Amino acid sequence: MSITREQITGLVLAGGRGTRMGGVDKGLQMLHGKPLAAHVLRRLAPQTAALLISANRHPDTYAALGATYRATVVADTLAGFPGPLAGMLAGLRTAGTAYLLSVPCDSPWLPADLAARLAHALDEKQADIVTVTTLDAHGAASLHPVFALMRTTLADDLAAFLAAGERKVRAWYARHTTVEVAFADERPFYNANSLQELADLERDRGPG
């Protein structure tokens, strides 16, 4: 039986420190007149049954951004901004569906078929986690690990992994049956890790 949209909760990861942007709240930085997270929510909403926003700062602002989509704001249960896995854990604990689709808050052009393609792969391969790879113009592959569809039954294992002091996303994935889906176009996965990269995105109108 194939995985349907109604079985997937979307999670926008906006809980980081924004270190490479000088400590600003990355998801709230403006792109084409709207916060980065707003662009991500707009593209993710049609693909999932419900939305969550992982945020450790400005929860009221994120709640207002997500109100249109009835998104719920969740915070890390671990102190000290321990990274995206902590946001994923909050999402896994909160989601009321069998699957969680995580995406970063700074990739405003994520593919409209992201959920469908990852769900197909997870179902076909009977995997626990599916993530994304792309090829650049030179044929070199890049992994985009926080774009991931995972089973919400993994919550306890992730909690134990984090409690042991582990923080690396790929190391946790390696504990489970994880497959990668190759997307031919890397542009939808462009993100803004720095203010310069955000300025570069600002000059590009995106996919519409």
| 14 backbone dihedrals φ, ψ, rounded to 5° | -130, 30
Domains of the chain: 5-202 (3.90.550.10)
pLDDT of residue 206: 66
Can you give the pLDDT at residue 180? 96
Q: pLDDT tens, 188-197?
A: 998 887 777 7
Phi-psi region of 137 (alpha: psi -120 to 50; beta: other; left: phi over 0): alpha
Burial class, 137, CB count within 10 angstroms (exposed 0-12 / middle 13-18 / buried 19+): exposed
- CA–CA separation, 153 and 99 (whole Å): 8
What pLDDT does 133 receive?
A: 96
Predicted pLDDT of residue 5 = 97
Contact of 102 with 108, CB cutoff 8 Å: no
At 120 the pLDDT is 97
| Block residue for tokens 């089973």 | 151
| The pLDDT value given to residue 19 | 53
- Distance of alpha carbon 163 from alpha carbon 161, whole angstroms: 6
Residues of the chain with pLDDT under 70: 1, 17-23, 81, 205-208
List Cβ neighbours of 58 (8 Å cut-off, separation of 6 or more). Answer: 25, 28
Q: Which two tokens stand for residue 200?
A: 């570069």
Q: What is the DSSP letter of 26?
A: G
- Report the pLDDT value the prediction gives residue 136, as an integer from 0 to 100: 77
pLDDT tens digits for 78-106? 777 678 999 999 999 999 999 999 999 99
